[in-house]
Amino acid sequence: MNRISWDQYFMAQSHLLALRSTCTRLTVGATIVRDKRIIAGGYNGSIAGGTHCNEEGCYVIDNHCIRTVHAEMNALLQCAKFGVPTQGAEIYVTHYPCLQCCKSIIQGGIKAVYYALDYKNHPYAIELFAQAGVKVEQVELDEMVIDLNTQEKLAFVGSLLEELKDKGADDDKLRSLHEQANKLFTSYL
């Protein structure tokens, strides 16, 4: 089995962090990394001890939930709280950072932003990242990286194909299904 890339490893961590989000509109996770080591993580949610969106709904003003602290901010604040410098670090985020998070990332000295999904990419955030010399790169998560059941899925699909063969399925159809299964699974093994 091949090891996953560093980008996939850190992006998977961000997606895992997003599972802790209490926002009902969008779940976001962020991982701050220096020298291939995770130094902080965050997800979007309410202040510690506060009311969460998944409990009472989002508190929306001007189409923004003002109850939540964004994932990037939570990760940066975790570094500040524990005295961990962010100068020269990188951040992996499940979604493109909003304008306010963009400014905080720049002020925190983060040198690179890796994000999985476009999300209202603000033109001024794009401009500010470029102006500050922050590398911004899309790194979509390969979901199979964190799929712990890949082998079982392969075996199941294989057994289905065998059953179809035993029941007299057309060879061309079986070959086509086998090729589709290979496309879905073989690049992950």
Residue pLDDT, tens place only, 43-82: 999 999 999 999 999 999 998 889 999 999 999 999 999 9
Percent of the chain whose predicted confidence (pLDDT) is above 90: 69
pTM here is 0.78
pLDDT-based confidence at 188, cuts 50/70/90?
very low
Residue 72 among the catalytic residues:
yes
Measured between alpha carbons, how far is residue 158 from residues 145, 152, 172, 176 in Å?
Answer: 21, 10, 16, 13
Catalytic: which of 55, 56, 72, 127? 72
Residue pLDDT, tens place only, 132-173: 999 999 998 887 666 656 667 777 877 887 888 888 888 888
Task: Quote the pLDDT of residue 149.
Answer: 63
Q: What is the average pLDDT across 33-44?
A: 98
Q: What is the average pLDDT across 93-116?
A: 98
- Look at residues 10, 18, 38 and name the one whose alpha carbon lies nearest to residue 95: 18
- Look at residues 77, 75, 63 and name the one whose alpha carbon lies nearest to residue 25: 63
The set of residues, in sequence order, having a beta carbon less than 8 Å from that of 16 and lying 6+ positions away, is: 29, 146
- Name which residue leads in pLDDT, 98 or 147: 98
Residue pLDDT, tens place only, 128-143: 999 999 999 999 888 7
Sign of the dihedral defined by the CA atoms of residues 70, 74, 80, 84, in that order = negative
Residue 105 CB coordination number (10 Å) = 30
Measured between alpha carbons, how far is residue 57 from residues 46, 47, 53, 61 in Å?
Answer: 11, 15, 4, 13
Q: Is the pLDDT of residue 99 over 80?
A: yes
Mean of the per-residue pLDDT values for the chain? 90
Task: Quote the pLDDT of residue 189.
Answer: 40
Out of 36-45, 110-119, 123-132, 143-152, pick the least confident: 143-152
Residue 63 CB coordination number (10 Å) = 6
**Continuous segment of H or E residues that includes residue 32:** strand 29-34
Measured between alpha carbons, how far is residue 35 from residues 5, 61, 105, 174 in Å?
Answer: 14, 39, 17, 48
Task: Quote the pLDDT of residue 168.
Answer: 86
**Residue 115 β-bridge partners:** 93, 138
Percent of the chain whose predicted confidence (pLDDT) is above 70: 91
- Name which residue leads in pLDDT, 182 or 122: 122
